[in-house]
Structure 1
Amino acid sequence: MPFHPFAVEQFLSEMEHGVRFNFSESGVHPMSYAALFAMAQIDTEALFDTLVDYPQVNGFQTLRERIAALYDGAGAENVLVTVGATEANTLIANTLLEPGDNMVVFRPTYEQMAGNARNLGIELRLVNLIEDEGWAVDRDALAASVDDRTKIIHVVNPNNPTGGVLSIADRAAILASAERVGAWIVADEVYAGTERATDIPTASFWGQEARVIAINSMSKAYGLPGLRLGWLVAPQDMIPALWRRHEYASISASMMSMKLAEHALAPATRAKLTERARGLIRRGFETLTEALQEHPGVFSVVPPQASAMSFVKFDLPLGAEAFALRLLREQDVLVIPGNKFGLEGHFRFSSALPEPHLREGLARLNALTSEILANAG
């Protein structure tokens, strides 16, 4: 089977290390271990007394209970702890998808699940999100794309790269389409809890329909990407098949990652992490929109409802990748060009960062924009 590289992650792997102003990431600014230990009031002596050993393969009982508590009607038996959300996606693709299946994917979106399916030889059916309607689902296209060979409808909600949250009507259309053909809904919900204009978290697809698998991680909303700790929540009878593939893929997440995630997901600490994330997201987006107004008519953005990032549309005489590469070479600023998500004329920009760093990087983006406009004239 021909192998298709993961465009977004290949771009990041090749470009991000050593860059001074990295606005390409999709989570809130990472915490230090010291800050996490202080916030969670972790007993470091007890923590450091832990053996550097294999942990429980499917995840510590207490950790799975804390994860399950985030999903109505779920128990620890519905949870499998994975090495990030990326492993969860891979396990699901390898468990559910078979030759002859198709998978419905919305675009633009983070295409790790789609890439797994494509590399398995699965037909992808792309349904566009409509920018002029606030990145709403094209419901007619969704209805036309789903048939009796559709095994999975994959959603990222809140969305990466747009930060959009599915409306009640769009959620209902997805649920109805899945129910009509008996498809699974695989819902990547790693940005739940990063809402910009409300303190009400984005509702999970879990519990809305029998054939749902929900995915999340410690990386995006919690600012702890280095733990490489994720999970999936699935019907109990699906867990063994996923677990068996987990044993092939990674055996388990690390002992220390599980222990720190367990501390981070204690209710009091989780509330503090959420408050921190929303503060960075809300201040950062205000700073970004202020900076983009320096060149009227050049930049526009549908305000993200959640997440640490914005999918910025631009009107300049060069393509998305050329603009991103000039930013990197000339200004030491990294953004992800929209063509890596299948959409030209855009770039993904993460603004949930410390304010002085964010402002200096945006000044550099505007300096290059001024130069491009001057030369175009």
Structure 2
Amino acid sequence: MRVPPFLMERWQSTFEHRVDYNLSESGVHPLTLSELLELIDLDPGGVRLEYGQSDGSDPLKAVIADLYEGAVHGNIIVTTGGAEANYVVLWSLVSAGDRVVALEPTYGQTPGLARGLGADVVSWQLREGLGWQPAPGSAAEIITPGTRLVIVTNPNNPTGAVLTASAMDEVVDAAEAVGAWILADEVYIGAEVEVRETPSFWGRYDRVIVTGSLSKAYALPGLRLGWIAAPVHMHEEFWSRKDYTTITPATLSDVAARRVLSADVRPRVLERTRGIIRANLSRVTGWLDDRADLFSYRAPDAGAICYVRYGLDINSTELAERLRAEKGVLLVPGDHFGMDRYLRLGFGNPAAELDEALDRVAALLEEACAAVA
């Protein structure tokens, strides 16, 4: 298997720890270990660092299943991060020559891996003018007979948009009509600007598979803990693939996740996340509105990300590289989503860091504008 370069991931991995301000992330400022242990009331000294249950402990699978109506622990596979969850699903379902429809722009891992597996990946575009929704009626036009898989990220990365109820219905109806699987990456559920949680694709059709993780809404990317929710009959298939990847989740992460996702702790974690998003979104939108001659945007429904169109005559990768090299600020260029003249701006940082980073971005933009004046 020859996979295409995962441009965004390599960009972030190369530079995120080598800049002054990292605005390339889509989650909020992560919890410290001390904050986590206090929140979940755990003394880690008693946790034995043995091999855990390789598909996730039964207590953890049970608490994850509680997130999905009608699910039981047999629907759940615990993985090392959401990335492994997506990998295992695609590796299991997609073969060379399969037709895969990807709702884009989206996180590059899933369509990139599908291409690496030899699939014919068809792009189904979200429309900026429709609030980053697919065009009404387009699902049935693009999810045609012979489609093996439909890839959806909801809430969306990079736009932060949440699909409307009618758009979700169209996706499900079109997939069901041709027997296609749906892979719904739902890692941003819980990171909504408003309190109402994004509805899941789970349970809408018997070929829906959902992936999630602790990385975004739960501010715990360092635990590397994700999961798959899938029909029970797919459990063995996914588990057998996982035997060849990471084998088992980290034991300490499994124990911590049981408590983070519990009914008493989960709301407190999400309240922190949403509080950061709401406070910082107002800072970012105010900053953008002060520069309305340069930027246009739709405020996100979820996630600490704002997908911004800019008016400068400069390629997005070139602009992002200048921001990194000259100002020590890392953003994601729209090129990484196949869309030049856009930037994905992450705003989950501490407020003072965010303000300083935005000041540096503004300084470079002023220099760029002066150069062409």
Tell me if both proteins adopt one fold, taking TM over 0.5 as the criterion: yes
CA distance in 1, matches of 2:40, 2:245: 31
CA distance in 1, matches of 2:334, 2:138: 22
Matched, 1:135 2:132: yes
Cα contact 1:281–1:308 (8 A) shared by 2: yes
CA distance in 2, matches of 1:62, 1:248: 24
Normalised by the length of structure 1, the TM-score is 0.97
SS in 1 for 2:265: helix
Question: Paired residue for 2:211, among 212, 215, 229?
Answer: 215
CA displacement at 1:376 relative to structure 2: 1.0
AA in 1 matched with 2:359: A
* Aligned residue runs from structure 1 range 1-377, under 5 A: 1-42=1-42, 44=43, 47-196=44-193, 198-377=194-373
- Structure 2 unaligned residues grouped into runs of 5+: none
Q: Deviations over 1:311-361 (max 9, x none)?
A: 111101211111101111111000000010111111111112211111111
SS in 1 for 2:77: strand
SS in 1 for 2:302: coil
Deviates more, 1:216-225 or 1:143-152: 143-152
Q: Deviations over 1:56-79 (max 9, x none)?
A: 111111111110000000011110
Cα contact 1:192–1:201 (8 A) shared by 2: yes
CA displacement at 1:141 relative to structure 2: 4.1
AA in 2 matched with 1:69: D
Normalised by the length of structure 2, the TM-score is 0.98
AA in 2 matched with 1:178: A
CA displacement at 1:98 relative to structure 2: 2.3
Q: Deviations over 1:187-242 (max 9, x none)?
A: 0000001111x211101100111110010000000000000000000010110000
CA distance in 2, matches of 1:220, 1:19: 21
CA displacement at 1:139 relative to structure 2: 4.0
CA distance in 1, matches of 2:58, 2:20: 41
State percent identity of aligned pairs: 39
CA distance in 1, matches of 2:192, 2:320: 27
SS in 2 for 1:267: coil
Provide the aligned C-alpha RMSD in A.
Answer: 1.1
CA distance in 2, matches of 1:187, 1:140: 20
Q: Deviations over 1:167-196 (max 9, x none)?
A: 111111101110110001110000001111
CA distance in 1, matches of 2:3, 2:277: 36
Q: Deviations over 1:36-62 (max 9, x none)?
A: 1111222x1xx2122221101111111
CA distance in 2, matches of 1:81, 1:180: 30
SS in 1 for 2:161: coil
AA in 1 matched with 2:169: A
- Structure 1 unaligned residues grouped into runs of 5+: none
CA distance in 2, matches of 1:58, 1:213: 16
Cα contact 2:137–2:170 (8 A) shared by 1: no
Q: Deviations over 1:271-309 (max 9, x none)?
A: 110000000001111000111233231012111011111
Cα contact 1:283–1:352 (8 A) shared by 2: no
AA in 1 matched with 2:113: N
SS in 2 for 1:268: coil
CA distance in 2, matches of 1:203, 1:114: 23
Matched positions, count: 373
SS in 1 for 2:258: helix
SS in 1 for 2:244: helix
CA distance in 1, matches of 2:50, 2:41: 24
